[in-house]
Structure 1
């Protein structure tokens, strides 16, 4: 089993930003980007950016963050529908994972998690959650959702933001060892470094299995 280094950013990927990462950190094998513009938070991914990344040999890791809380089954389904809409708009192919960005300050309940998983079940995409498994309510809500429906742990991929080791160059990335919820889960992503000084990015290591679900 291999592990792959890459980055994510709230900012649009321009040639300047890509070159900044190449020069300071190394070649990103994938780049996490937000599917929509959320004022003061993220710039939405564009087709032009996707072309720039693909032409550079870098895959796209899609993140959906246009929601303010993570409670209620119906809201979970709506979040999944919205993420799907934007992935289709940008022509993401089948079988790719769509990460819901769950802030540690959010209220989260197990029914929202089940709603997101169920909302994506009959689409062409797979459910993913970008989460802090240590701080905030996600881990306990996730484990409750798993105990109610095994589809949650079977279908979804988790991208952990803990522990934070600090940003590094690709060749100095830490050994893959993310924090996880205390129940069955596919924690295949780890954002180990945040807010690099040289370029506005975070650094990540992911499992091959997740890499294969990116575009």
Structure 2
């Protein structure tokens, strides 16, 4: 049984809290926050991109972070300025760029940085290892936004885990499946993301994309992931 309490869905069975929030390609201002709060609910966290990607996402700023924090909303940092995830060196360099942007924004070490791996990307286990090792040594927490059903991530992540079990133990996955449709916070589904076919910490679920009333996607995460947000 799940009980709704403000922005938190609490499982009485396993005593884990599941928290509702959103992500967006657009910068967050009062107008967008009002739209989300009125149409869907008050998010506890907001996924935003560490740097601008032409035609795809606006980059996070320090002022935007301050605005979110003043409204009691944590930041879920995402790095998306890449179009494939192939090769160890590429994984290292992409992670270095993500870390540089996180430090520019004064995001403290110990917080999570998600690599945005779309379902149509080329992916290999070497890139996953490269991202993991560089993020880990930088002092940040390693995360992967991914689709476990469509594309190459499932297979290649599990191959990376075979080579280095620390990837399964220390990294955090944010699943894009199943896509059940954006909802109001009070109507959010029970936490049930699809997972990869090997050991993992799948602690986040983007269950609804492209909400109609506001330019956001809707998510549920567990409280363990929430602790690593900024």
TM class, shorter-length? over 0.9
SS in 2 for 1:147: helix
Q: Cα deviations across residues 95-140 of structure 1 (Å, max 9, x unaligned)?
A: 1010000011110000000010001121120110000000000000
CA distance in 1, matches of 2:95, 2:172: 14
Q: How many residues align?
A: 215
CA RMSD of aligned residues (A): 0.5
Q: Does 1:199 align with 2:188?
A: no
In the other structure, the counterpart of 2:91 is: 76
Q: Does 1:55 align with 2:70?
A: yes
In the other structure, the counterpart of 1:101 is: 116
CA distance in 2, matches of 1:120, 1:44: 20
In the other structure, the counterpart of 1:113 is: 128
TM, length-normalised to structure 2: 0.93
In the other structure, the counterpart of 2:29 is: 14
CA distance in 1, matches of 2:76, 2:37: 18
Which ranges of structure 2 fall in alignment gaps of 5 or more residues? 1-15
The counterpart of 1:178, out of the listed 181, 193, 198, is 193
Shift in Å, 1:52: 0.8
In the other structure, the counterpart of 2:79 is: 64
Ranges of 4+ aligned residues in structure 1 off by more than 3 Å: none
The counterpart of 2:45, out of the listed 6, 26, 30, is 30
CA distance in 1, matches of 2:139, 2:37: 33
TM, length-normalised to structure 1: 0.99
